[in-house]
Structure 1
């Protein structure tokens, strides 16, 4: 290498240029601490000219509070003579000509010459870094969350004042102790294993996802917490910074909310139960009225009204028995509705067969009641009019999702069909009028086919108001 340097000129000159161009302060002293060489960066760092420094004692660059012991440290280093950082584990400061101190890092290197051992010191001004560290420290200290930093063994290295408040310990009581001191005894056994698992794949994340976490106060009281973990790479290994929030108040509010929701559910359940009971009373009154009538037309009208009332009562009954009052299991409603009509019209299942095919469908009560009435009318009409003179056939009822945002309801039969001279749009039939009006109420498109087969199809939008949920 020396030969290569000679190719570029005088080696001593090259070394001088390298030292002079260094961005760090370079100071060389003899074994007595007398400064024999400095570079331009040293002049800028300390505010002295080169002439003022050469021949002076190194202690002129050391704050007065450290000068007393500095000669002793210098002699100790001369005796060991090896490259190393100065003052490991201690904060070091330089002294500017103006009297102002500034933080530094110092690397020491012994240089053996024919005149004895010299010490070459490389000096770095760490003011900016120290300022950044101080800002970070202030941010951690001012955090409203408890901040705890541990090493890879779980030993506590740093805590802030919020942590002292949360857990009831003084800072000095926590530094150096295992993190398990802040964890309830019921969770301590598995904590080292969980910590090692985190360190194998460190990433910023919430701790204990899906589990209830608790901290342990100095007085032995447990309290609920949320913890965020952040790995921090350092020269000594990975540290873990934990952000801890006491969620006692939030848990209390959640319990109050749950209690309020339970009371609301109980109230809704009671409302649906009473509505269902009232509808059943109306149903009974209509039945009693029809029993004393001899006019077959009047009896038929009352029976149709009974079936309409029953279709609404069924929905309230299903909601009353459900754990979710926001949605109606309409598959169950349809089956109950068809069963009721079969009994009401004394349907001969050997002659007329009703087939049901439906996706699992859950609808809001605002959609369920109108749709229940529509299906009641369509199925009733098919049973009464599609198969005259003891004709046989089938009625198919299906509810299917066309898309995620639309539902198709289809009632069709292979009966005699709707006569061509029957004016569907201007009919005086209450049933057809109800189907048309209720279809508009739920924003459904109604498509009617008169025969081969006779069908009533409704396409109901579901995405806009989130009234339906399909389980597929």
Structure 2
């Protein structure tokens, strides 16, 4: 009986046709107009669990789940009425039945065949169990994602949304599927959104949407809210799609604005603090100057002038912080330049014969505010000492201030080409109040202080550039 069923089914010759069917990578079943199986291949045996002899001559409904078997002859008749190659059951989930009665999802492609025994149908059957499992896993990931997820096809219509999308936008899922994604965009932005959507699909790649722009979405009640959107291209059998992850950033923006307001208030407060401290120090400086003008003792006037110079060195740090609006650090090079100008002003009578040269880096070297004042006071004391003692009896010369970076440390140098240090000079037993301050201030910086006297004294201070790298005292 099987030989009669197989007779004349191939217009191109029986052996080549059988060979193509047998070695096809998918299950293949040929069915005649009566719905009987006349041909199957090895893959059909494998996925259905039947031996070939158990299939030949049997109705195709043997491979259809019982719950669908009653409707299947009608679908067969519809195909024979207008036979052309097409997928079976377009828009419906298809299932097949194995020999043990278990069901599995399939895709079926139908191709009409003309044979000597009449019209037949060649059905290519693909087990899509693994694909369905992956799709289900993908749907679960999307469904339970913590942010709203929307999948959009090339035409801009939504094909998948999750529970977070319903909650965020206030639409039921049924009202979103199949609709253009622009329904979630404020009306004033919909026109340009269509353009942006098309641009993304031309060069699809995972990226945030609208980089550099403020993005807004629209709820079902018409209210707008700020969002962040991540776009991911997804390749599907239906073509390229876009999976959009949407996050409502209303609370984040509110918290950010609150933080910015607090920061602005703190900035205003710090600005006022530094301004007042600077003014108060200037008042102290003025009082010292006034007291000096009324003092008849030259030694007392000198002491008051030195104290005034120290106060101005401290006031200058607050002045720079006030000017630059950076309350954590100052540019040490700029600070030393401004301090040098103050010192030149203090010794303007000696300016014609004594030069104060500055060797400062072009690249900013920043120092935290806490250590800037000790640095300034050290420079103030050393330069003042040089002006007072290095060039006696009208002698001319040069005082040099130098700042350089040495590895992870900064080095401050004050040198002069004056008469040099006295033979009795002892760094550990200093009588000058100003020079006594220098080692103490160096300890505050966590640095080391050295003195060399070769062609003039050279005072060197080295300390860590990073405050966390301070040396142990």
Work out whether the TM-score is over 0.5.
yes
Contact persistence 1:318–1:333 (CA under 8 A): yes
Q: State the 1:371 CA deviation.
A: 0.6
Looking at structure 1, the residues matched to 100 and 119 of structure 2 have their Cα atoms a distance apart, in angstroms, of 31
Instruction: Tell me by how many angstroms 1:122 deviates.
Output: 2.1
Equivalence map 1:102-141=2 (5 Å): 102-141=104-143
Question: Match of 1:4?
Answer: none
> Using the alignment, how far apart are the partners of 2:238 and 2:469 within structure 1?
55
Matched, 1:372 2:376: yes
Matches within 5 A, 1:243-322: 243-322=245-324
Q: Contact 1:149 / 1:159 at 8 angstroms: preserved in 2?
A: yes
| Cα-to-partner distance string for 1:175-206 (whole Å, 9 max, x where unaligned) | 33332222234433433333333333322122
Q: 1:184, 1:282 → 2: CA distance? A: 62
1:142-157 alignment runs, 5 A limit:
142-157=144-159
Q: Aligned pair 1:390/2:394, yes or no?
A: yes
CA distance in 2, matches of 1:201, 1:420: 80
Deviation at 1:74, TM superposition (A): 1.9
TM-score where L is the length of structure 2: 0.86
Equivalent residue for 1:399? Answer: 403
TM-score w.r.t. length of structure 1: 0.87
Is 1:181 matched up with 2:191? no
CA distance in 2, matches of 1:395, 1:153: 78
- Please name the residue that 2:367 is paired with: 363
* Cα distance, 1:254 vs structure 2: 1.0
Deviation of the 1:114 alpha carbon:
1.9
1:192-231 → structure 2 map (5 Å cutoff):
192-231=194-233
**For residue 462 of structure 1, what is the aligned residue in structure 2?**
465
Q: 2:335 aligns with which of 313, 326, 333?
A: 333
Contact 2:271-2:325 at 8 Å conserved across structures = no
Mapped contact 1:33–1:58 kept (Cα < 8 A): yes
The 1-side partners of 2:44 and 2:62 are apart by 13
Rounded Cα–Cα distance in structure 2 between residues aligned with 1:67 and 1:192: 46
Change (3 A) 1:347 1:90: farther
2:415 aligned residue: 412
Please tell me whether the aligned partners of residues 35 and 58 of structure 1 are also in contact (alpha carbons under 8 angstroms): yes
Deviation at 1:229, TM superposition (A): 1.0
SS of the residue aligned with 2:455? coil
The reply to whether residue 88 of structure 1 matches residue 74 of structure 2 is: no
The question of whether the paired residues in 2 share the 8 Å contact of 1:448 and 1:456 is answered with yes
Asked whether the 8 Å contact 2:421–2:456 carries over to 1, the reply is: no
Q: 1:171 to 1:38 in 2, by over 3 A?
A: same
Structure 1 position 81, deviation (Å): 4.1
| Residue number in structure 2 paired with 1:6 | none
* Equivalence for 1:166: 168
Following superposition, the deviation at residue 284 of structure 1 comes to 4.0
SS at match of 1:199: helix
**Structure 1 residue 56 displacement after superposition:** 2.2
- Separation in 2 of the partners of 1:449 and 1:187? 73
Shift in Å at residue 402 of structure 1? 4.4
Structure 2 segments unaligned to the other structure (5+ residues): 1-12
In the TM superposition, residue 410 of structure 1 has moved relative to its aligned partner by: 2.7
Counterpart CA distance in 2 for 1:117 and 1:124 is 23
Q: Is the 8 A contact 1:418 1:451 kept in 2?
A: no
Deviations 1:211-238 (A, max 9, x none): 3222122222221111111111234432
SS at 2:378's partner residue? helix
Indicate conservation of the 8 Å contact 1:419/1:450, yes or no.
Answer: no
Q: Give 1:37 shift.
A: 2.9
Q: CA separation in 1, counterparts of 2:188 and 2:374?
A: 55
Structure 2 SS opposite 1:249? helix
Give, in whole Å, the separation in 2 of the partners of 1:464 and 1:290: 38
Aligned with 1:190: secondary structure? Answer: helix
Q: Which runs of 5+ in 1 are unaligned?
A: 1-10, 468-472
Q: 1:46-61 maps to which residues of 2 (within 5 A)? A: 46-61=48-63
State how far apart, in whole Å, the 1-side matches of 2:204 and 2:273 are: 53
Pairwise CA distance, 1:280:
3.4
Q: CA deviation at 1:387?
A: 1.7
> Could you report, residue by residue, the CA deviation over 1:46-85 in whole angstroms, capped at 9, with x for unpaired residues?
3445444332221232234433442233233335444433
Q: Is the 8 A contact 1:148 1:242 kept in 2?
A: yes
* CA displacement at 1:364 relative to structure 2: 0.9
- Please provide the CA RMSD for this pair: 2.8
Residue 436 of structure 2: aligned partner? 433
Check conservation: 1:27, 1:39, Cα contact below 8 A: yes
